[in-house]
Amino acid sequence: MGHMDQPLINEEREEIAMDRFESIANKYLQNAVEFGSKIIHEPDGNIPPDFLINGKIAVEVRRLDENYPEKSNSKFISVEGVDINIQKTIIKELNQFKTKYSNETFYIGITLNHSFRLYQEFPKEFRAALCDFLDKREIDVSNIVKIGDDVELEFYKRNTDKGKVFTLGGISNDASGGLDIGVYTKEINNFIRAKNQKINNYKHKYREWWLLLVDTIGFRLDVREIIEVKKGLCNLERFSRLIVINYDSSYYFSFDKQV
């Protein structure tokens, strides 16, 4: 091979079919990179990278989806300013709901008024609000239920029927979008680490690597929330750029490696 960035590519090699998310990524790349750029799918066969741009930039692709572990409800989410006893109470109640109650699963984001204090009847009222939601839900993207003036529950339908009915997405003391930000930050960081492991044996072949994620979570973050997500991202390690695109191949946001 001789030099980095000059892979020996067999132009007669058998074409490897793109999966759905590679097709979405390919459409984005064709429109986003400089006109006349050469984009090759699976340049080295069925190993990383998924795409190669002009023989220099290696691109790995993955869908950005919801991959909370099955036992996520038993793990405390670190939320500054939220009493640990409130977290324990909420998680205990969420764990009472098994899949037998519903064929659907949901993320739940909880916003507490800054003056909220745990009181004796709260667990009962919280459980009743969850039951009421399951009994009366008419949900497409999100739904909001309030408990008095101090507690707001926001539900998002998950793209799976596995696991417990409710997965805690986040708790905040104000309407700061903690659920949206927390889900995106955690999932993106998971995929950054996983993809770095995947390319470890191939990273020497190309000088630059990009990670391209196709968003299927669909919370539609605003500009302020995207800035907060970027603040929570881990080191990109071998990747120089992270790009997140929408399901229709349009640009969502990106993040370049901090040097």
* Domain presence at residue 71: no
Provide the pLDDT for residue 50: 98
169 and 194 both lie in a single domain: no
Given this model, what pLDDT does residue 166 score? 87
Over residues 95-115, mean pLDDT: 76
Question: Domain for residue 222, yes or no?
Answer: no
Q: What is the pLDDT of residue 73?
A: 41
Does residue 98 sit in the same domain as residue 182?
Answer: no
Same domain, 161 and 182: no
Q: Rounded distance, CA 226 to CA 254, Å?
A: 9
Distance set, CA 173 to CA 27, 111, 113 (Å): 41, 6, 6
101 with 152, same domain: the answer is yes
The angle formed by the CA atoms of residues 30, 31 and 36, to the nearest 5 degrees, is: 60
Is the domain of 123 the same as that of 165? yes
Residue 183 within any structural domain of the chain:
yes
pLDDT band at 13 (very low <50, low <70, confident <90, very high): low
Q: Are residues 194 and 235 both part of a single domain?
A: yes
Percent of the chain with pLDDT over 70: 76
In a domain, 193, yes or no: yes
* Rg (the chain; Cα; Å): 22
Residue (of 11, 16, 8, 2) closest to 55 by Cα position: 8
| Lowest-confidence pick of 101-110, 136-145, 181-190, 214-223 | 136-145
Residue ranges of E strands in 31-176: 39-41, 51-53, 57-64, 106-112, 142-147, 151-157, 166-172
Closest CA to 214 of 28, 51, 79: 28
- Residue 98: pLDDT above 80? no
Residue spans of alpha helices (H) in the chain? 20-32, 84-94, 122-136, 178-199, 223-231
Instruction: Sort strands 142-147 and 151-157 into parallel, antiparallel or unpaired.
Output: antiparallel
pLDDT (tens digit per residue) in 202-247: 999 999 999 999 987 766 777 888 888 898 998 999 999 999 998 8
Count of domains observed in the chain: 2
pLDDT digits (tens, 9 = 90+) for 56-85: 999 999 998 765 343 334 333 434 445 667
pTM over 0.75: no
Domain range for 154 is: 77-176
**Mean pLDDT along residues 23-46:** 92
- Residue 5 in any domain: the answer is no
Residue type, 72: S
